[in-house]
Structure 1
């Protein structure tokens, strides 16, 4: 396609304040056959430039108000007319024209009046041709853009058509994927429900048919709470209510939920031989949704462990009551003796006219009082140690302690009690055995073990021995008493536990427990050996040095 210049008249702006100057310019440019627009001032020229574009502006320099330089400056400052060619015309002589300023304000050339008409027409013709070429390029660009727009619209129409086809295919694929996703979600939900620890089942209303039961529901009571066939296979399994009344099949949670009953924590218990179990039943109705019919939901809460805990708590309460009974009895015995002796002493002191009792009798009474007070103090200390161990605050004051010296001292204090119990007391602790321990706690360990040996080994010899090894010191207390049955050898070190009835032997059942707690707190261990018919041997191992940890006491107390 050949490019042809547009033949429309090209606008040329003539700016001069002199009418004769404008007439001369019009006459000179008339042969060019273009559109001539005149302006008689700079301001009028600016208004013309606001309305249309011009191929060239012929601008007189000397004008009143706003001269040619100022007008040119404003033309250049306007974005749309910034590139419009400006040709200055002036009657000034060549030496009077400030050429640098003319070019500085954007003039492409200037002519001096009187000008040569052919030269002026030649210069203007150049700008006219340039304007036409520019206009042609603009129109070609617009035509190109229009062609591109039409092509683009055609391509868009084709793309839209292809897109509709693709959308149709995508919709079909999406529907297929949604259906597959729905199936996968159902499988995933069933997998989640299957692994839940809470028994859960979905039943068909009316028939009671099991639509789904997770693993926990299948294992709870061997699945007999949900599946009727499982109940028929477990003939020894018996279901009862919370009062122990046996439940028929129609009264079980699954049958009631299928009938539409809304259960809220209904208890059901079962037993099979020595095995026991319990659960709370909850049910609700799921309305039809997502293409599924109405469904009965049955949830079971296994409370077997709670029942076991309840029995343990009841046992703990029973143990507490027994302990309080024992404590009142144990505390009353020395208090009664103290009261009797104090009352006797007061009566003797108030008798008049009688000779005073001999000093030996007073000493005997005081010794009895001192013995009972010591017994009371020991009982109170044991009770305080229970509280300290429970709160993790059993105190240790570590220092250099001679275990052999502690054993000899305790044995000396128990000499009269051993004699009263008919026990010969022997001690093998001649050489010092020194470690970093708590003196009072080590004394408490030896005292409790010796008191235990004299209580349960009355009438038989009692031996205490101390030895040392590379890593620890050893304390052994042997008696020839009733011994400890094998099934009781761990239980006797627990709080309030006793291997024999309280009616036969007094005490709180705390001595050996305190021994275990103290020795463990010092990093050691205590064990018992009791061959049949040979009494009991308690062996304590104490490391030479160890900082007791409070956290261990808390763990023991909480356990």
Structure 2
């Protein structure tokens, strides 16, 4: 996908959103004069009108067209309106299409009840009030047009998202090698030519190394984000406590240097993706260690409790906190709340967490206040792979 193609995405979405969908109306009546009279009433509406003089002719039209609404006479020879409607609804194209029965029969409730059983949305009597008929038909036409526009917009958005994610994956994959080489050669230069470089040169070399590492981290994060949803998610029994312990061992150096205290209650085993749980703990524990003001050692508590069919996890810290006004940005990709000089990062981690966890049937949110720390909550379906232990928790 080229940059020029990316630039056309907003125009494609806008075109899909405002595209005019011209709906089709099917009128069925064995008396041609009734069809012509009804057509005259509905002609001002922005719709294509099809007329059928029998049930068989109507069924033939249903096979070839997709209608927004059907006006169906009840009393017809050979095949009455009730039988015609029943046969119509056997066709996939008629799923959800509103049918209005029009009749000169008795106004007994049994006929209206039968129409309702078949799935008719209305049952009106002749002689027809033109204004009422036009008003009712217009409502259903407007609903049809709105539904079609939403479906087209969703299809366009889905295609655009797939193209953008594919573009991000390809770019990130191709960028890995030159960044890796830049990082490697800068490292060799720092090791082997340190005495030949003056203080300014060493400072510039440090900038190169820092930025190369930051770029490599961003590329890896983009690749992780783009893979979520593109590859099949393997659901399996996952020991969340074991993964938390592994994650804490990865941060062992940072925990020791900062004097952090990390506590956790017994965590369950759930049927989910082990990669998801690892990504969640890596990001949430990493952020809890990173976003500190330095006035006190980090305190981090990880907990889980059963809520119906879900386990609700929480990761609580005593860090700098988050203003409520940033709630809309915190899970948006590339959105950073602080300068990278103060708190390094790519702005991709939490957006990856939310994207991944939603695919696995869960949700993520947070509660926070500036200077009072943050608590991130996420839910995971409990599944049926876990078994209860004596303590009431679950184990794999």
TM tier, smaller: 0.3 to 0.5
What is the TM-score normalised by the length of structure 1? 0.32
Greater relative contact order (CA < 8 Å, ≥ 6 in sequence): 2
- Which structure has the larger Rg? 1
